[in-house]
Amino acid sequence: DTEVTQTPKHLVMGMTNKKSLKCEQHMGHRAMYWYKQKAKKPPELMFVYSYEKLSINESVPSRFSPECPNSSLLNLHLHALQPEDSALYLCASRDYRGSAPDTQYFGPGTRLTVL
Amino acid sequence: KNEVEQSPQNLTAQEGEFITINCSYSVGISALHWLQQHPGGGIVSLFMLSSGKKKHGRLIATINIQEKHSSLHITASHPRDSAVYICAAYVQGAQKLVFGQGTRLTINP
């Protein structure tokens, strides 16, 4: 199974709402990523979890709060978002092979619209 | 200047043509991904390579570490190949990918 799943596929929320995005993988990968992608742009890295610990935060505003409850699951909690946060949110995972990088597997994304 | 540059940004071709997309990078890398994204869709990794050449079906990816250059070739292109192709590099010592801006490929029947 080389699948990364994300739920929901679409999300519409108001600026005062609290919502969460969910990402799951059962490949035993120990690194998981959140990316934000605006239209016609490449993905921008937001967070990296390595062995369930936050290892990279790319200066993301605190209205985005990641959580890694276990090695298979990654959440992104959203609160008080702005319309400019509307984007496709992608999750990815990869394994470690010593010091060599391994293939990143991407989920299908959650398309978020903030009204 | 981006650390990873792709060309062309847009490419339109007729079905059956041989397609080449180029990627140059200015930093030391440990590996490079070629990714495919269909409109409105998620991202699929086509190849990850750190040297030489890889082939999968009609797709071929090459990398020249000394010249800091990689190419993605599509033989006998088909309208279903229409997508955005992104090269992304693992910078040495980093956990993260540095992305090129993408090449929007359209194959007309």
DSSP of B26-77, one letter per residue?
Answer: SS-EEEEEEEEE-TT--EEEEEEESSEEEEETTEEEEEETTTTEEEEEESS-
Interface contact flag, B48 A45, Cβ < 8 Å? no
DSSP helix/strand/coil, B81: helix
* Mean pLDDT value of segment A75-99: 91
Does the pLDDT of residue B71 top 90, yes or no? yes
A101 → closest Cβ in B31, B86, B104: B31
Read off the pLDDT band of A100 (50, 70, 90): low
Interface contact flag, A105 B45, Cβ < 8 Å? yes
- A vs B: CB pairs below 8 A: 51
- Minimum CA–CA partner of A4 in chain B: B42
Read off the pLDDT band of B27 (50, 70, 90): confident
DSSP helix/strand/coil, A39: coil
> What digits encode the pLDDT tens for the residues A18-42?
999 999 999 999 999 999 999 999 9
Are B95 and A31 in contact by the 8 Å Cβ rule? The answer is: yes
B42 → closest Cβ in A50, A100, A109: A109
